[in-house]
Structure 1
Amino acid sequence: MRFEDLEVWQRACRLCVDIYQQLNECRDFSFKDQITRSALSIPSNIAEGYERGTNKDAIKFFYYARGSAGELRTQLYIGIKIGYIPKQIGMNFKEEAEQISKMLSALIKARQS
C-alpha cells in the first residue's frame, strides 16, 4: 500500500486544495501564507510519516499532521471571524479538519498496536 491510497491523505489533500482555492483572492498575504502552510502540512506529514522506515517515526509525523490540523482549525475560526472566509464554507472546512484529526488518531492507535 502507498500513502496515496490512504483515505486520510486523500481527504487532507482535497481540503488543502479547497483552502488554496478559497483564499486565492485574499490580499492579507501573511494570513494566507500561514493558513495554507498549515493545510499543506497535514498531507505532507502523512506522506513523510508513511514513507519512514519505522512505526515510531511514522507515528511522530502522524502526530505532526494532527497538530497541523488543530492549527488549521484555529486559523479557520479566525478567518471566519475577520471575514476572510464565509462562515458556512469555513465551518465545512473546520468539520473536515476535525474528521481528518479523528482519522489520524485512529491511524496512530493502529500503528501503536
Structure 2
Amino acid sequence: MSYDELDVWKRSARLSVTLYRETKELRDFGFRDQMTRSGLSIPSNIAEGYERDSDAEIARFLTIAKGSAGELRTQILIGIEAGFLDRTSAKQWADEAYQLSKMLAALIRHHRAKKASH
C-alpha cells in the first residue's frame, strides 16, 4: 500500500493544509511557524517511512510522526490558552491530532508485529 492511500496520511495532510490556511494571519510568527512545522511533520514522516524498505523503518518514522502529533496538540492547546487561536476551531484541530496519534499507534503496532514475525 502506498502512503497516500492511508487514511491517517490523508487526514494529517488535510490538517496540515488547514493549519497553514487558518493561521496565515497569526502575528506571532514563531508560534505559527512551530505549529505549522509540527503539522507538516506528521504526513511527511508517514510518507518517508512508507518509502523505506522495511517494517522497522516504517515503524520508526511513524513513531516520529506520532511524536509530532503530540507536539502539535500541545501547541494548539497552548495557543488556545494564550488567546492566539479560535477556541472552537483549535479544539477540533487538537482532537484531530489526538485521533491521528491513536491511528499512528495502531500502525506502529502493526509494523512492529510484522517485523517480529519475519
Q: Identity rate of aligned residues, in percent?
A: 50
Corresponding residue of 1:44: 44
TM-score normalised to structure 2 length = 0.93
Q: Counterparts of 1:56 and 1:104 in 2: how far apart (Å)? A: 14
Contiguous gaps of at least 5 residues in structure 1? none
Contiguous gaps of at least 5 residues in structure 2? 114-118
Corresponding residue of 2:16: 16
CA-based RMSD: 0.6
TM-score normalised to structure 1 length = 0.97
Corresponding residue of 1:92: 92
Aligned residues: 113
Question: Runs (4+) of structure 1 moved beyond 4 Å?
Answer: none
Q: Counterparts of 1:84 and 1:20 in 2: how far apart (Å)? A: 14
Q: CA deviation at 1:44?
A: 0.2
Counterpart residue type for residue 93 of structure 1: W
Corresponding residue of 1:83: 83
Corresponding residue of 2:116: none
The structure with the larger Rg is 2
